Amino acid sequence: MEAGTIAVGENASGLRRLRDAVSDHPARTALILLGLLVIVMIAAKGLHQVAETGLSGLSTGSIYALGAVGLTLVYGILKLVNFAHGDFVTLGAYVAYLGNVTWGLPLYVSLILAVIAVAALGVLSERLMWAPMRAKRAGLLQLVLMSIGLAFLIRSLIQFEWGTEVLSLDVNKTATVEFLGLSIGRTQLVTIIIGIIVISAIGLMLRLTLLGKRMRALSDDLDLAETAGINTERIILYTWLFAGGLAGLAGVLAGTILPLQPELGFTLLLAIFAAVLLGGIGDAFGALVGGMVLGLATEWSTLFIDSRWKLAVGFVVLILVLIVRPQGIFGKAKVV
Amino acid sequence: MFSGDPTLLPLAVDWSSLTDSLFLVNVGILAGIYALLALGLQLNAGFTGISNFGQAGFMAIGGYTMAILTVDTGLSFYVSLPLSMLAAIAFGLLVGLPSLRLREDYFAIATLASAEVVRIVAQNAQGLTNGNQGFFCNDDFSRCFDDKWNSISATIIGWLQDLGWSDPEALFPLLLVVMLAVLLVTIALRLTQNTPWGRVLRAVREDQDAARALGKNAFAYKLQSLAISAAIAAIAGWFLALDLATVHPTDFEPLVTFFAYSVLVLGGLANYWGVIAGSAVLWALLEGTRVLKLFPDDADTAALRFAIVGLTLILLMAFRPQGMFGKKEEMVLGD
């Protein structure tokens, strides 16, 4: 990298200025690129199609974003790459199934049930696994493998209880809502609305409240925050409460759009990771934007390539982000 | 013991008296394949300190390239083997060049994503890989990727029958070859451990900056480690293809990598022979529960596998992160 900077001579200063501008204002650059992309797409495929796939992109994006906020908080504060997060999402969907189909409760009650259950699981995993492992100063690989173990345990529980066949929540997935000449699935619209409201609320909470400030302090430097008199264990428990609850919510919303199967969350996990890295680790608003951008990219890609390749878009974005800008759109270039 | 009448070979008697020898052969082959995968991971995670989570992808490249070259281009089976290994190495370099410069956690995620890209390409590039149908033969079934192997296998079975074993399992030759491969790879890797190259790897693992300060190109060593691991995974890919007689996208899910990591940490980090023990123990656990027939239902059996591997990982990491034979003084997991 240093060699590259030195090699840029005087005659390349225009390019250099552009590069500086890009790295000084990453969000603005991303916005400009996105805007250009949208204009090109509208020119190629027409406004109506772009808008309609865009809407379904936003609903996919909401699910990614909800999953990503929890993952990014845990990742940022505990430096834990939680591979079980996808299975947290799955569990949320299945708990909603338990309430909604098995017990016949209304969906919104089941949703609350799922959020509480997965939040409790988050706190339980913190108490039983992550806190003791932190005390032992466990390394990254050790924690990653442990989270994979937890993922497998949750998945085995789901398979014992509900089997591997595809299930569905008691919700009309085909009902559509029409507005401005666009049609969108009713559950998709609800997902977008819930997603944006909840994540904005969490983002504001992180910016404005004392709890949010403390969380960000932990994310910056856990030991320093502890020295400053913050009750870190308590803040970490709150973090898990949020992470679990949001994962549960993401699972239920995913369950209103997608079929329920034990791999549901795991198939979303890499896309959720991509959203986290795109937004910058530890940044809730970043996770929102990252999730939405990824959802849009995934759905818009179907305008140009076969929708079979949809899943690969998330992975390619993930790899590109890691190569080009590993600190994410909003992240500052630290040691990456 | 082995002298005298060849028909009284204890091995032969032992195998033929076991009613479920097919089952044992199958488990043995799988254990061997996972040992190979985990040997590569041992080189990466145990000796170089890089968390490669893309092993399933390298394995897929090995299996698919071998099959496609043999069937579609009509190359000799023997030529397609090293070529598929080269393909896996090339992919390893492609993945490693950008991602090895990243932090450890980013590298883990990047490799996992790259393996998933391989799997999705295998699933969707139907012209090349036959998609979800799996790859076995060409269109008119006149040439299959395992034709050559089947004739080799028949020859080995002929030898076994000459030795007096009347009815060996059809897959027994594959088991022999897999075991031989595991042994050779283990010995080869073990030999590198005491070479200057192996010492630099460990130096990189312990302290990358210190290794760099001594003038060693840490990045190049990590890249070599990843490429070798990819090549070993490609071998595992051939064997899986030959075992199943098909190459199918679902055989290369991230689960494969996770199971291989379970084998690795069960055997213990920084110990090549431990990998073999780890694979034997894990597969005995996984398949032993199937023999016990605790659950008649297939879904429950599958769930039990997840529970076993999950508990193995959690308990090992919590209470014995060095595994069965890992070296505590070479602990790479903790700080």
Q: Nearest C-alpha of chain A: how many angstroms from B94?
A: 12
Judged by DSSP in three states, A18 sits in helix
Residues of chain A below pLDDT 50: 1-9, 335-336
* Alpha helices by DSSP H, chain A: 2-7, 13-24, 26-45, 47-78, 85-97, 107-125, 131-135, 140-162, 186-208, 210-220, 222-227, 232-257, 264-279, 284-304, 310-324
The whole-number pLDDT of residue A1 equals 41
- Residue B99 in contact with residue B171, Cβ under 8 Å? no
Range of the domain at A128: 49-324
On whether residue A27 sits in a domain, the answer given is no
Distance from CA of B287 to the nearest CA of A (A): 16
> B255, B321, B307, B230: which is closest to B39 by C-alpha?
B230
Spans of chain B below 50 pLDDT = 1-18, 335
Which residues of chain B lie closer than 8 angstroms to A153, CB-CB? 306-307, 310-311, 314
Interface of A with B in 108-137 (CB under 8 A): 129, 132-133, 136-137
Q: Which residues of B touch A274 (CB under 8 A)?
A: 113
- CA closest to A146 among chain B residues: B314
Residue B60 domain-assigned?
yes
Are A34 and A171 contacting, i.e. CB atoms less than 8 angstroms apart? no
**Are the beta carbons of B46 and B332 closer than 8 angstroms?**
yes
Contact B277, B285 (CB under 8 A): no
CA–CA dist A61, A257 (Å, integer): 12
pLDDT at B6: 43
Candidates B99, B116, B316, B330: best to mutate against A (most CBs of A within 10 A) is: B116
Structure-token pair, residue A46:
């027409």
- Mean pLDDT over each residue of chain A, to the nearest integer: 85
In a domain, A39, yes or no: no
In chain A, positions 72-111, which contact chain B (CB-CB < 8 Å)? 79, 81
- For B113-150, write each residue's pLDDT tens digit: 999 999 999 999 888 888 888 888 887 777 888 888 88
Q: Give me the DSSP letters along B233-302.
A: HHHHHHHHHHHHTSB-GGGGSHHHHHHHHHHHHHH-TT-HHHHHHHHHHHHHHHHHHHHTT--SSHHHHH
CA separation for the pair B114, B60 (Å, rounded): 11
Of A317, A247, A192, A249, the residue nearest A71 (C-alpha): A247
Query: Residue B318's CB: how many other CB atoms inside 10 A?
Result: 17
Q: Chain A to chain B, count of Cβ pairs less than 8 Å apart? A: 149
Closest partner CB to B303 (pick from A138, A156, A326) = A156
Is B97 part of a structural domain of the chain? yes
Residue B1 lies in a domain: no
> In this structure, what CATH number is given to the domain that contains residue B138?
1.10.3470
- The A residues from 136 to 155 touching B (CB cutoff 8 Å) are 136-146, 148-153, 155
Give the CATH number for residue A281: 1.10.3470
* Total residue count of chain B as it appears in this document: 335
Q: How many other C-beta atoms can be found within 10 angstroms of the C-beta atom of residue A182? A: 15
Helix (H, G, I), strand (E, B) or coil at A182: strand
Q: How far is CA B223 from the centre of its chain?
A: 19
State how far residue B142 is from chain A, nearest Cα, in angstroms. 30
- Domain total for chain B? 1
- How far apart CA A196 and CA A66 sit, in angstroms, is 9
Query: From B50, which residue of chain A is nearest by alpha-carbon distance?
Result: A141
User: Across the interface, do A140 and B313 touch by the CB < 8 Å criterion?
Assistant: no
Model confidence pTM above 0.95: no
Q: How many domains does chain A have?
A: 1
A311: closest chain B residue by CA: B120
Helix (H, G, I), strand (E, B) or coil at A94: helix
Q: Give the ipTM of the model, two decimals please.
A: 0.86
A1 located within any domain: no
Residue A37 belongs to some domain of the structure: no
Residue B320 lies in a domain: yes
**Boundaries of domain holding B34:** 6-330
